[in-house]
Amino acid sequence: GAGVSQSPSNKVTEKGKDVELRCDPISGHTALYWYRQSLGQGLEFLIYFQGNSAPDKSGLPSDRFSAERTGGSVSTLTIQRTQQEDSAVYLCASSFAGVNEQFFGPGTRLTVL
Amino acid sequence: AQSVAQPEDQVNVAEGNPLTVKCTYSVSGNPYLFWYVQYPNRGLQFLLKYITGDNLVKGSYGFEAEFNKSQTSFHLKKPSALVSDSALYFCAVRDPRGTYKYIFGTGTRLKVLA
């Protein structure tokens, strides 16, 4: 299929370790978003990419969180020195530029022990 | 600051009855408004959006929503509910002035009873 894919689907890590989450957007989509979904919470916006640049990083919760996008395609979200409160489902979405529907990936469930 | 509220955690409706899932927002100016649905074990899917124009927006699967500026609401509706409509519904808002940030509500679980 040609949907948004994310890997890994599940990640269990120990507190203090670094993790990398990957997102492969739909080909041709220039806009890419990362969200965090915690139990009982809505989706929390983390960062927005247009091409390889990130004009809006306002949702990154701390400097332990960073993201990059290369070749206008694949994006990685890195969380350094993970904490238990980082446990959540991390969702990636892509869209065409402008105010268009976002196509969401299945998410990565991160558990920090 | 922009915000969105979904006042009901869960809505129960009998199959065949009309359904409404409520959403109110707070944005200075004219908002962009969206509804997404999350079926069990599946990713979020787009239902419909309001950008400008006609206040009544029609979307996928027979859903529609009405933008009401005076009440700052964007309630999701369907004339006749199906059991298969049971899912988690999210309202989202974006302030069109200089931000790309989408704010999502906490979601409303819709349960359609046979």
Q: CA A110, A88, B107, B3 torsion: positive or negative?
A: negative
Count: domains in chain B: 1
Q: What is the band of B72 on the pLDDT scale with cuts at 50, 70, 90? A: very high
Q: What is the band of B4 on the pLDDT scale with cuts at 50, 70, 90? A: very high
The CATH number assigned to the domain holding A78 equals 2.60.40.10
Low-confidence ranges of chain A (pLDDT < 50): none
The answer to whether residue B42 scores a pLDDT higher than 90 is no
For chain B, the average pLDDT equals 93
Does residue A48 lie in a domain region? yes
* Type and span of the H or E element at A95: strand A88-95
State the pLDDT at residue B89.
Answer: 97
The CATH number assigned to the domain holding B47 equals 2.60.40.10
pLDDT digits (tens, 9 = 90+) for A79-108: 999 999 999 999 999 999 888 899 999 999
State the pLDDT at residue A100.
Answer: 85
Count: domains in chain A: 1
A58/B101 CB distance under 8 A: yes
B44/A93 CB distance under 8 A: yes
- Region B59-71 average pLDDT: 94
Which residues are registered as beta bridge partners of A75? A23, A69
Q: Looking at beta carbons, which residues of chain A come within 8 Å of B103?
A: 42, 45
The number of C-beta contacts closer than 8 angstroms across A and B is 59
Does residue A113 lie in a domain region? no
A103/B46 CB distance under 8 A: yes
A101/B49 CB distance under 8 A: yes
Which residue has 């400008």 as its token pair? B52
Q: CA B79, B2, A107, A34 torsion: positive or negative?
A: positive
Q: Looking at beta carbons, which residues of chain B come within 8 Å of A107?
A: 43
Range of the structural domain that residue A18 is part of: 5-108
Does residue A39 lie in a domain region? yes
Distance CA A26, CA A9 (A): 17
Range of the structural domain that residue B72 is part of: 3-113
